[in-house]
């Protein structure tokens, strides 16, 4: 159960094998999925359907079927406003965008596409949906985002955001996936489609300036005046992602000292450093993948990066270097709930079941409710929509929070506001987020945590996702009495298992987006104790899996 760190980890991507773009694009059009093979069917993970055209898991047939299914779903759900469509910089995103538009236009759906062909971050789509729907009882909008998030360059992805602006819940995604698979099994005969050139000129296709809408409203979510007045020097690496042109627009509009390290878009992502497994992965929370920005930590007062669709963030502080995601999330929650007087005193701290237990202690110290949910940002959507959750976060560096007046800002993960919050924090407190984190742990305890990623087959992932508390027979965890064993959070299955003591916990679950499983562990007794926790986690899960 231990992940093998590749000898190439952290080295330039050019030392590995870069994706063959012509072959990838040819495979999108030429290879047909076999619906009898589970890995080739449409399956929505924690955030949409993802795969690679090489593996017949993300091909033209998948996208055509998914979008036709979305058209049918929104019709039966009574959603009759426009669809806002976003697209990231992955190579497969452009042909998938064309397939998407072909189906939407043929179905007569009003479609808002980015003006001038600009790339569109996930949070810009979420925010546009929320703004459109404000005060409406009819004509409500929803959205489609074409992205596999931080996944490798050969990946493609598509996800659906209903009128609440966030990721669709399981009921919606199951309906869409089931219908899409039926359409593929039927040879796509019931898919309506027109040629792309015709779809692009259709009367239902409209240009929309996502960038100006999002950038223009940013002051609703952040105190940009204090960042400007303090002169905090910020650096950002867009990692060649969808927000690549948003950052300079933000800096110019609000007069910020914000340096964009690079605006290069290269669909092989050859400028990256290789991740833990020697693959190119645009993960801003990975020290292996973030080498370019880590080397600049002393150049700025705070620096940050976002993944390809800009729904995740990574923060580099001079005091610490790249902050582990859990560290920054704890600092962000600590700061926000003491500096957002417009929020309800009952607004909760939201976290996933595998995020740091320090967030539990932060919530208790600040006398805030805690909402713990399964992995998947969709579980925060209702609270971020109605203001009952002030800040929702997951340990994989995804977060969003309310606007300053407690209205919904983005009900999907927003890497831009989460990253820029580091600048606001530094400006107001005169301390970088790493120093803020140190202050919190001095008061509430300093947890050691780790996550192990390892390869897993489809069958292994299925088995792990169905573990029940009764399959764990141990009474202690690394010397402490086990206080609870659960496979649910907030009444929903977590897709794995979580074992807790008073000072430590571990959770094991399969990834919803890649062929890996993850074991998370944390201890408030230090790194040696954490090592024992993870060792025993391995034994318990191995025993439970037989």
- Residue 402 pLDDT grade (very low, low, confident, very high; cuts 50, 70, 90): very high
Same fold, 18-208 and 448-545: no
**Average pLDDT over every residue of 152-179:** 97
Question: Contact, 382 vs 186, CB < 8 A?
Answer: no
Question: Contact, 464 vs 543, CB < 8 A?
Answer: no
CATH number of 448-545: 3.30.310.50
Provide the pLDDT for residue 513. 66
Q: For residue 4, is pLDDT > 90? A: no
- Residue corresponding to tokens 């979580």: 498
Q: For residue 2, is pLDDT > 60? A: no
Nearest to 380 by CA among 131, 166, 159, 147: 166
**Whole-number Cα distances in Å, 150 to 2, 280, 409:** 22, 9, 22
Provide the pLDDT for residue 1. 43
Provide the pLDDT for residue 546. 60
Nearest to 380 by CA among 364, 361, 400, 395: 400
Residue 15 CB coordination number (10 Å) = 11
Residues in Cβ contact with 209 at an 8 Å cutoff, skipping those fewer than 6 apart:
114, 115
- Residue corresponding to tokens 């902050």: 323
Provide the pLDDT for residue 506. 95
Question: Contact, 142 vs 129, CB < 8 A?
Answer: yes
Task: Answer with the residue of higher pLDDT: 301 or 539.
Answer: 301
Provide the pLDDT for residue 510. 84
CATH number of 214-444: 3.40.120.10
Task: Answer with the residue of higher pLDDT: 131 or 296.
Answer: 131
Order of strands, sheet of 484-489, starting from the edge strand that comes earlier in the sequence: 448-455, 516-523, 504-510, 492-500, 484-489
Domain ranges of the chain: 18-208, 214-444, 448-545
Interatomic CA distance for residues 179 and 42, integer angstroms: 9
CATH number of 18-208: 3.40.120.10
**Average pLDDT over every residue of 32-40:** 96
Q: Report the SS3 class of residue 50.
A: strand
* Residues with a known catalytic role: 149
**Average pLDDT over every residue of 278-286:** 96
Average pLDDT, rounded, for the chain = 95
Within 13 A of 236's CA, how many CA atoms are on the CB side?
A: 33
Provide the pLDDT for residue 515. 79
Query: What is the reported pTM?
Result: 0.95
* Percentage of the chain lying above the pLDDT 90 cut: 89
Provide the pLDDT for residue 207. 98
* Residue-wise pLDDT tens digits, 474-510: 999 999 999 999 999 999 999 899 999 999 999 998 8
* Residue-wise pLDDT tens digits, 300-358: 999 999 999 999 999 999 999 999 999 999 999 999 999 999 999 999 999 999 999 99
**Average pLDDT over every residue of 268-293:** 96
């Amino acid at each position: 159960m231990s992940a093998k760190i590749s000898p190439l980890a952290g080295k330039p991507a050019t030392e590995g094998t870069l994706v063959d773009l012509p072959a990838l694009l040819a495979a999108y059009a030429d290879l047909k999925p076999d619906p009898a093979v589970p890995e080739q069917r449409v399956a929505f993970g924690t955030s949409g359907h993802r795969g690679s055209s090489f593996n017949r898991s993300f091909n033209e047939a998948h996208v055509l079927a998914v979008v036709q299914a979305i058209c049918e779903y929104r019709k039966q759900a009574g959603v009759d406003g426009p669809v806002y469509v976003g697209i990231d910089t992955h190579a497969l995103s452009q042909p998938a965008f064309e397939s998407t538009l072909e189906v939407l236009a043929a179905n007569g759906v009003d479609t808002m596409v980015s003006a001038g062909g600009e790339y569109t971050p996930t949070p810009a789509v979420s925010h546009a949906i929320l703004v459109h729907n404000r005060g409406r009882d009819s004509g409500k909008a929803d959205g489609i985002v074409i992205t596999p998030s931080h996944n490798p360059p050969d990946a493609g992805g598509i996800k659906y955001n209903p009128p609440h602006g966030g990721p669709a819940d399981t009921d919606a995604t199951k309906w869409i996936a089931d219908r899409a698979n039926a359409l593929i099994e039927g040879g796509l005969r019931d898919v309506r489609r027109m040629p792309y050139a015709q779809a692009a000129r259709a009367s239902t296709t409209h240009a929309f300036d996502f960038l100006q809408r999002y950038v223009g409203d940013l002051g609703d979510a952040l105190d940009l005046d204090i960042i400007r007045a303090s002169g905090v020097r910020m650096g950002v690496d867009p990692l060649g992602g969808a927000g690549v042109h948003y950052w300079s627009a933000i800096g110019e509009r609000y007069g910020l000292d914000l340096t964009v390290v690079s605006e290069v878009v290269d669909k092989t992502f050859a400028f990256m450093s290789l991740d833990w497994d020697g693959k190119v992965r645009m993960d801003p929370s990975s020290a292996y993948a973030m080498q370019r920005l880590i080397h600049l930590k002393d150049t700025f007062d705070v620096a940050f990066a976002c993944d390809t669709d800009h729904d995740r963030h990574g923060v580099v502080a001079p005091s610490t270097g790249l902050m582990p995601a859990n560290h920054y999330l704890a600092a962000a929650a600590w700061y926000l709930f003491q500096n957002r007087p417009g929020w309800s005193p009952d607004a909760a701290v939201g976290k996933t079941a595998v995020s740091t237990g320090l967030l539990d202690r932060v919530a208790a110290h600040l006398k805030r409710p805690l909402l713990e949910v399964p992995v998947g940002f969709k579980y925060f959507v209702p609270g971020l929509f109605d203001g009952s959750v002030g800040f929702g976060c997951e340990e994989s560096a995804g977060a969003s929070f309310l606007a300053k007046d407690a209205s919904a800002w983005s009900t999907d993960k927003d890497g831009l506001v989460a990253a820029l919050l580091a600048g606001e924090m530094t400006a107001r407190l005169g301390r970088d987020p790493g120093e803020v984190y140190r202050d919190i742990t001095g008061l509430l305890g300093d947890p050691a945590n780790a996550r192990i990623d390892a390869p897993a087959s489809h069958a292994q992932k299925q088995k792990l996702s169905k573990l029940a508390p009764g399959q764990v027979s141990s009474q202690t965890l690394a010397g402490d009495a086990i206080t609870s064993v659960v496979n649910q959070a907030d009444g929903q299955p977590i897709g794995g298992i979580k074992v807790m003591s008073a000072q430590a916990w571990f959770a094991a679950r399969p990834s919803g987006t890649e062929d890996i499983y993850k074991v998370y562990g944390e201890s408030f007794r230090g790194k040696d104790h954490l090592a024992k926790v993870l060792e025993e986690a391995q034994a318990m899960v191995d025993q439970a899996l037989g």
